[in-house]
């Protein structure tokens, strides 16, 4: 008998039109050749993607959802990243990611840490999120959390949090435009899928699509 070795696939295949919010935001500001590449990447996504800022993102979400007076999730995340960077023979990618992630956490703490208050409540995302369908294309809007606020009249207001990490916002106008598009997609997702949690507040979703520049 002939046994064929199992070879892991490097790419998946999306039979239906689909892309992520980040891909759509980049597509709207990209050159024609880059747009072709984005469509190809959306149609044939890589099976294994190691995302940058993963630990920074996780630490910020825990900080937001922990509420005021909670554990020092940002400090804990920075400590873990420092240990990871100083581990046995870290790769260049790991060293760069740890350095950039620590810088992003410091920027967030300095600029946005104070948004955790008694007036705002943040809740983590549980389970998978539905797609936002735009002109027949399923757009994956990977919210990091939902944000809630009770108005003076007792009405519950809701929005979405989508963290955007970039080192080029000050030098790349297109990066700034992608932040705006991402915030708009965040609001569109909230209006479509979060109405069960309260009145969708554009101020919450717009202001919660934070940009973090290490």
pLDDT digits (tens, 9 = 90+) for 173-213: 777 888 888 889 999 999 999 999 999 998 887 544 345 55
Examine the domain organization and report whether 72 and 40 are in the same domain.
Answer: no
How far is the C-alpha of 131 from the C-alpha of 123, rounded, in Å? 19
Range of the domain at 16: 11-46+119-214
Asked, for residue 197, whether it belongs to a domain, the answer is yes
Strands (E), the chain: 18-20, 121-124, 132-134, 137-140, 145-150, 156-161, 164-165, 199-200, 211-212
Q: Which residue has the higher pLDDT, 48 or 41?
A: 41
Spatial CA neighbour of 66 closest among 24, 113, 99, 101: 113
Spatial CA neighbour of 64 closest among 145, 133, 170, 151: 145
Q: Which residue has the higher pLDDT, 94 or 174?
A: 94
- What is the pTM (predicted TM-score) of this model? 0.84
What's the average model confidence in pLDDT over 154-161? 93
In order, the DSSP letters of 142-180 are: --SEEEEEE-TTS-EEEEEE--EE-S-TTT-HHHHHHHH
94's tokens: 């790991």
Examine the domain organization and report whether 95 and 75 are in the same domain.
Answer: yes
Which of 114, 129, 149 is the endpoint of a domain? 114
CB atoms closer than 10 angstroms to residue 164:
21
Which of 114, 136, 165 is the endpoint of a domain? 114
The pair phi, psi for residue 189, each rounded to 5°, is -65, -45
Examine the domain organization and report whether 91 and 148 are in the same domain.
Answer: no
């Amino acid at each position: 008998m002939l046994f064929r070795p199992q070879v892991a696939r490097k790419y998946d295949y999306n039979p239906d039109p689909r892309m992520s919010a980040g891909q759509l935001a980049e597509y709207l500001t990209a050159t024609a050749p880059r747009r072709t590449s984005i469509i190809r990447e959306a149609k044939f996504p890589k099976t294994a993607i190691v995302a940058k800022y993963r630990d920074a993102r996780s630490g910020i979400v825990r900080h937001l959802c922990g509420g005021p007076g909670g554990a020092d999730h940002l400090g804990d995340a920075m400590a873990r990243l420092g240990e990871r960077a100083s581990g046995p023979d870290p790769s260049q990618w790991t060293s760069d990611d740890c350095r950039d992630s620590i810088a992003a956490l410091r920027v967030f703490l300095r600029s946005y840490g104070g948004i955790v208050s008694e007036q705002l409540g943040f809740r983590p995302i549980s389970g998978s999120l539905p797609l936002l369908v735009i002109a027949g294309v399923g757009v994956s809007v990977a919210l990091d959390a939902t944000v809630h606020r009770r108005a003076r009249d007792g009405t519950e207001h809701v929005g979405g949090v989508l963290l955007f990490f970039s080192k080029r916002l000050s030098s790349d106008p297109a990066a700034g435009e992608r932040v705006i598009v991402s915030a708009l997609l965040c609001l569109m997702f909230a209006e479509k899928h979060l109405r069960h949690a309260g009145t969708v507040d554009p101020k919450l979703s717009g202001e919660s699509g934070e940009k973090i520049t290490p």
